[in-house]
Amino acid sequence: MRILVTNDDGINAPGLWKVAEALCEFGDVVVVAPDRDQSGVGTARTLLQILRVEEVESRIEGVPARSVHGTPADCVILATEELFPEPFDLLVSGINPGANLGMDVLDSGTVGGAFRGFFRNIPSIAVSVTSVSNVRYDLAARVTTELAKAIFDHKLNQPMIFNVNVPNVDTAQIERVELTRLGPKAYLENVERGKDGQRVHYWIHHNRPIGDHAQEGTDIWAVRHNRISITPMDPNLMSGHGQQGFESMTEQISKRLGTNGHRH
């Protein structure tokens, strides 16, 4: 079992090494992570500049580690295509301090790393804890190894992304492990305007709550109720095909373009 571990918080983040260490009992682990905090970059790749890779001192004996001057997606692409070309059986991205829930997963570098594994047909796990301070990584690391085992016992018929969020509470306070669906988007951005010298600058913060309408069954609801949330993300992610009568929309556009009735 070969396991690639990455994150979006950078090579020195404690969550990265906690989960890498836990996964060692389960397989051969390789760590490839950004050389700095890349939280919030989503699935972004670096295409317009070169990427540098450093061999870094591993915190776990026998586990090779590299840092990349790039995004989590860059790490996964370089690791699989170039640095460690032998196939990986599993990708784990995390452990992120701070939840990655609902439609906000599209902004997450942690989940972005997992997407890049999924695109390469590797079953991928993104794992987060719901607090940014006094983070209890141990439980999340255990959940990840148990999920990894379960994935391989289950024999997936197609690669999937599993988005895991663990409440930052004592294990004794955890209600249960729950299979969930993604909730709605919970945050938009605030823009802060500043001035240095003569020029105006802007700073985008992803911190504006936009209402509270997470239903039971969603990931947001689950962690709020002290449940460990596991969201399998469908490979047809966000496909709106067949929903809400969109056929009439395309028919209407066809008509207006005068392409109606053409058969090729």
For binding to Mn ion (CB under 5 A), which residues are involved? Answer: 8-9, 39, 96
Tell me the sheet residues that pair with 29.
3
Write the CB contacts of 253 (distance below 8 Å, at least 6 apart in sequence). none
Residue 180 corresponds to which tokens in the numbers above? Answer: 């969930």
The 3-state DSSP class for residue 9 equals coil
The 3-state DSSP class for residue 14 equals helix
Q: How far is the CB of 100 from Mn ion (least distance, A)?
A: 8
Q: Which C-beta is closer to Mn ion: that of 74 or that of 234?
A: 74
Q: Which C-beta is closer to Mn ion: that of 203 or that of 246?
A: 203
Could you give the dihedral angle defined by the CA atoms of residues 129, 130, 135 and 140, in that order, rounded to the nearest 10 degrees? Answer: -20
Q: Which C-beta is closer to Mn ion: that of 9 or that of 104?
A: 9
Query: Minimal CB distance to Mn ion: which residue?
Result: 39
Q: How far is the CB of 38 from Mn ion (least distance, A)?
A: 7
Q: Which C-beta is closer to Mn ion: that of 28 or that of 131?
A: 131
Q: How far is the CB of 25 from Mn ion (least distance, A)?
A: 25
State how far the Cα of 20 lies from the Cα of 40, in Å rounded to an integer.
Answer: 22
- Residue 58 burial (CB count, 10 A): 17
Q: How far is the CB of 8 from Mn ion (least distance, A)?
A: 4
